[in-house]
Chains A and B, each alone.
Chain A
């Protein structure tokens, strides 16, 4: 992670570069508060991944990018998905329902699962990723439970840009990008991508095939009243590997995701006030193609389990600028619906009305912030999510931060109404393993999960080009949802229930240093401990770490070697072992790039590699040409 804190500690200029004075010494993020704050002044932990870091990572998807580059994330393969655990707040239902994903500010999490499959956004069109850890419900409402990930796509392309890449084992990607701006400030842009990630050769059936289109237009000058229209379509098809609860791996199952996203936003600003009004929504379908296993663990026919969903919302917020403060207030009305005659018993819909308020003050060295949001949902009732924090500038190089807040995760339609959804677990009979059918039921009385989260941190930015960020965090999770055997005499029936209350205490450290001449060293470490009031049979590892050594230049050879601990886990087994990745990039010219990626460089036995015989190390070769 690069902290661009250049501006401190320079003395005489005659022998020093003065042009750095023109540069912004600090990265600015908007994700945490919807207002611009520098990373340095953020009251919660923020990580920013820039375009060069994205390229150096070699990651093909946003999922991989976060797993490889940010120690606070841990990847886990599951029945139909690969999800992310964040600082110990792992998924309860094997999807990314505890993280809120935004695409250029457009919320992506659906209502069916409360999920967004981050493996379906290719990194090729991503300019930067901002991650704000901690409870975000005070600003964003449901699903901003453990954090918010804002994916910002490349917007400026003065000429059409078409690139294509090829990887070993049948992988490819092709992307067309084009944008233009008229003299009166109107601009439009489009991106179309078509790519296949073959997955690792360590496991079968975790390939991903995605087609996506994104269109956007902005009418009016960007700094005055203007309209923004946005449309995105993501069509993804992904294989599955195994399941959290030890269900027999089904290397034939697929997860199909087809969703249209849209947003129309009008913004205006005056000297004292700015205003945003937006209409947004999504429609889509998901198929969870599952095979019926035969007694000998052969594969039966694969049948679709189809779901449809829709969402529409209207949000408006205003911001007033006062002499040493700014106030933000707004409201959001959202309607959601899910349909499946077989698996949900028909059509279900709900509405949510929310109001939110946030105040930020600039009191010299202190910058406090206070906010809250009230949600009233037609199905699960009301939720109040307050949040407060501050930063205090100790010196030109040191800043303290602290925050506390509450957030909630809304139960999804799947968790509320699921029916007729069998899965199979392996059961030992004698010396053999046979599939045992389990039926999963929804629970219409589910309550939202809640978290009370607190964090204190300190950041030091040395004028010599290195920085250190230390943070202690605490999360108290209540009403955690999981599947539970509800009838003692019917072990084949499992139902979603609010079963788990537990706390997570931990600390994280992030270090970054420019070693000169294009070299950068970064290291991240997170440790967490669980205090379970009801023992959870599975949880992510208590430690995770990322170590990266990178070299970057505009032309010629660049590269990064990275180590992750632990490697991506599978199913219910605790993940272990270091994964190592090497990514070499050769920029032949501005339009041509070659890259070589080696995963599991040292062929370390890991959970994923153990599951699949035939080797662990995988090599990808990519060629990209911009036309």
Chain B
């Protein structure tokens, strides 16, 4: 009986193979959203899930996924979609299937947009992004005097460069000024922060490890606390730890949007003609203690509409 169960789990072909960049947490939330939406739409699919190990065995995992002869692959996270991309490029003569990705921070940077040409013709998906203008608007709703916003970014990272360019465009349209200080991983964070000292009214955290990893974030938080300027971020974890406000992603919705694309591909849609989806809803978080420390009053209406309000 146990042997039957093992065979059932591992050797069966699958309609859909989900490849996750990592196990657990937000990846599982997205997968849960995807599978439940597909079921809700009436799809009875055989689904198998694989997880990358983050090492040289990842191409083998993609090959394993394709041996299941799925109708399409779902990639959850940057690593997963990149592993599939690289496998497809290295194995041009092997059969390929369409790929729907979700939770990818910079699909354009990875060449997954339709404009990228034939190499992206099998890919479509959902981007993981919070538009800077939404964050600026959320900030101005609680602190209308802000004029200059600072941020740190890694200039060698094309994703960060794109995010900063987008933020500069959005800031200009909203008559704000953006001051972007470059910081490479081996450079001094304190030096970069000092270059922003007394020049900015607020600090915006972007999803770049040079500023958003726990230790750099602690230093940035200490800097903004000392400077008495608000810190805005892109996820609730930072607001819990002391940022004034955050605009976050609903990961389950990432899966649901992915499921909609999966359904269209299964119905015969061409991935190349399906535009990359952006999140439809954002979650907003406030930290009341930080608001008090900055002498800011967050309107009651905004607090009522917030997804979570932190007090510490």
Spell out A's residues near B (CB within 8 Å).
2, 4, 6-8, 10-25, 28, 35-36, 52, 185, 221, 223-224, 269-272, 274, 319, 321, 323, 326, 362, 364, 396, 514, 516-518, 552-557, 584, 586, 589-591, 596
B6, B50, B222, B288: the one within 8 Å of A321 (CB): B288
Interface of chain A, helix or strand or loop or mixed?
loop
Inter-chain CA distance A4–B23, complex, in Å, is 10
B-chain residues with CB within 8 Å of residue A323 when the two chains form the complex = 293
Is residue B297 within 8 Å, beta carbon to beta carbon, of the partner chain? yes
Question: Which B-chain residue is minimally distant from A586 (CB atoms)?
Answer: B5
Spell out B's residues near A (CB within 8 Å).
1-2, 5-6, 8-10, 18, 21-26, 28, 31-32, 35-36, 39, 47-55, 61, 77-79, 82, 103-106, 128, 154, 156-160, 185, 207-209, 212-215, 222, 234-237, 240, 248-249, 251, 288-289, 291-293, 297-298, 303-304, 306-312
Known contacts A18-B159, A590-B39; decide if A271 and B297 are in contact (CB<8 Å).
Answer: yes
- Are the CB atoms of B213 and A10 closer together than 8 Å? yes
Question: Which B-chain residue is minimally distant from A514 (CB atoms)?
Answer: B23
Inter-chain CA distance A377–B93, complex, in Å, is 81
- Are the CB atoms of A271 and B39 closer together than 8 Å? no
A-chain residues with CB within 8 Å of residue B26 when the two chains form the complex = 19-20, 22-23
- Are the CB atoms of B128 and A19 closer together than 8 Å? yes
- Are the CB atoms of A590 and B36 closer together than 8 Å? yes
Give min CB distance, B242 to chain A, whole Å.
Answer: 9
- Are the CB atoms of B21 and A321 closer together than 8 Å? no
Given A10-B209, A11-B185, A269-B288; 4 other pairs, CB 8 A cutoff: A14-B158, A21-B207, A274-B311, A590-B35
B21, B157, B293: the one within 8 Å of A19 (CB): B21
Inter-chain CA distance A19–B30, complex, in Å, is 12
Give min CB distance, B217 to chain A, whole Å.
Answer: 9
* 28 pairs from A and B in contact (CB 8 Å cutoff): A2-B24, A7-B214, A11-B185, A15-B82, A18-B78, A18-B105, A18-B208, A19-B104, A19-B105, A21-B208, A22-B248, A23-B235, A24-B25, A24-B235, A28-B240, A35-B312, A221-B304, A223-B307, A272-B288, A274-B311, A326-B312, A364-B222, A517-B61, A553-B51, A554-B32, A586-B8, A590-B36, A591-B39
Inter-chain CA distance A608–B39, complex, in Å, is 45
Inter-chain CA distance A559–B177, complex, in Å, is 54
- Are the CB atoms of B79 and A17 closer together than 8 Å? yes
A17, A36, A224, A596: the one within 8 Å of B22 (CB): A17
Known contacts A11-B185, A517-B50; decide if A17 and B248 are in contact (CB<8 Å).
Answer: no
B-chain residues with CB within 8 Å of residue A2 when the two chains form the complex = 24
Question: Which B-chain residue is minimally distant from A360 (CB atoms)?
Answer: B312
Known contacts A223-B309, A557-B6; decide if A13 and B159 are in contact (CB<8 Å).
Answer: yes
- Are the CB atoms of B22 and A13 closer together than 8 Å? no
B-chain residues with CB within 8 Å of residue A7 when the two chains form the complex = 213-214
Known contacts A25-B237, A589-B39; decide if A8 and B21 are in contact (CB<8 Å).
Answer: no
Inter-chain CA distance A516–B209, complex, in Å, is 22
Inter-chain CA distance A323–B123, complex, in Å, is 49
- Are the CB atoms of B5 and A584 closer together than 8 Å? yes
